[in-house]
Amino acid sequence: MSDMDSLFLRIIEREIPADIVRETDRIIAIRDINPQAPTHVLVIPKQVYRNAAELAAADPQLLAELFTTAGEIAESEGISESGYRLLFNTNADAGQTIFHVHLHLLGGEWLGGMTGGEIKG
Catalytic residue numbers read 102
In three-state form (DSSP H/G/I as H, E/B as E, the rest C), the secondary structure along 19-41 is CEEEECCCEEEEECCCCCCCEEE
Element spanning 10, H or E = helix 7-12
Residue 90's closest CA among 107, 73, 104? 104
Distances (CA, A) of 93 to 11, 14, 26, 46: 25, 30, 28, 24
The alpha carbon dihedral of 119, 23, 77, 55 has a sign of positive
Give the bridge partners for 87, in sequence order: 104
